Homo-oligomer: A and B are copies of this chain.
Amino acid sequence: MTSAPPTVATASLPAPASRRMSGEDRRRQIVRIAMRRFSEKGFSGVTTKEIAAEAGVSEAIIFRHFATKQELYAAILDQKMKDADAAAFWALMRELAARRDDRRFFETIMQHIIERHRADYSFQRLLFFSALEGHELSEMFFRLYARDIFDFLGDYIETRVREGAFREVNPQVAARSLFAMPFLQTMFEQLHRDQTVTGSPETLARAYAAIFLDGVSRPATAPTAKSSPARTS
C-alpha cells in the first residue's frame, strides 16, 4: 500500500483518475465532464462511452447515477442553477441604481456579463446548444435568469426616462441593446476565436457603456458641425 492517496498527482486530462470515489464526488465529476463534452459537441454529438472513459470509469457507472443520457444532461443545468449565486452582484446593482450612477451602473453590468461569459465558457456554449436543440431546460434557465436581468434593466431605464435623465427610448429596446453589446463580444471570442477586439472586461465595458450612454454621434453643440440634416461634403 502506498501511503499517500492519489490526490492531485494524476496526469489531468485522459487520466484514469482515482478509484473508488464517493457516490457524491463521482456524480459531480461526471456532471463536470459531461458539461464540457456536451458544450463542445452538442447532446447527440457525445457518447456516454466517451464520458465514462474520461471519468476513468465504466459506462455502467454513469447509468447508475443517471437513468438516461437525457437525465444526465438535465443534471448539468440543475447543478448550475443551484451553484449560481449572484446575490452580491445584485446588491451592488441595486445600490448603483439607487444612487442613479448611470455610467457605473451600465459599466458594471456589462463588465459582469463579459466576466461571467469568459469564465464560464463551457456553460455558455452548452446553453447555446440547448437553446438550439430546444431542450425545455434551456428555456427554463432563460426564463429564470435572463428574464430577471431584462426586467431589472428595463425598469431602471424606464425610471430614468421618466426622470428626464434619458431620452424617450423604448426601455425594452434599450435593455436589449445594452445586453447585446457585451454578449456579442464574448460570443465572437468563443465561437470564432475572434481577436479583432480585445481587452479586459473593465476596458471593454467602459467602451461599450460609452456608446450606449452617449452614442457615437458628436452632439450638435460640438464646435465642428451643426446637426443640420446632412453635410453633403
Contact = CB atoms under 8 A, between A and B. Distances in A.
A174 interface: yes
B216 A167 contact: yes
Contacts of A165: 217-218, 224-225, 231
A129 B173 CA distance: 27
Contact of A45 (B42, B179, B222): B42
Contact of A133 (B41, B131, B174, B231): B41
Nearest to A170: B207
A158 to B, nearest CB: 11
Contact of A43 (B45, B176, B197, B220): B45
A208 B99 contact: no
A128 to B, nearest CB: 6
B176 A102 contact: no
A218 B165 CA distance: 6
B192 A139 contact: yes
Contact of A215 (B129, B139, B214, B233): B214
A77 interface: no
A166 to B, nearest CB: 5
Given A133-B42, A176-B184, A216-B169, A99 B196 contact: no
Given A40-B134, A164-B218, A173-B197, 13 more contacts: A128-B132, A139-B192, A165-B225, A165-B231, A169-B211, A173-B208, A176-B185, A176-B188, A180-B181, A181-B181, A211-B212, A213-B217, A220-B221
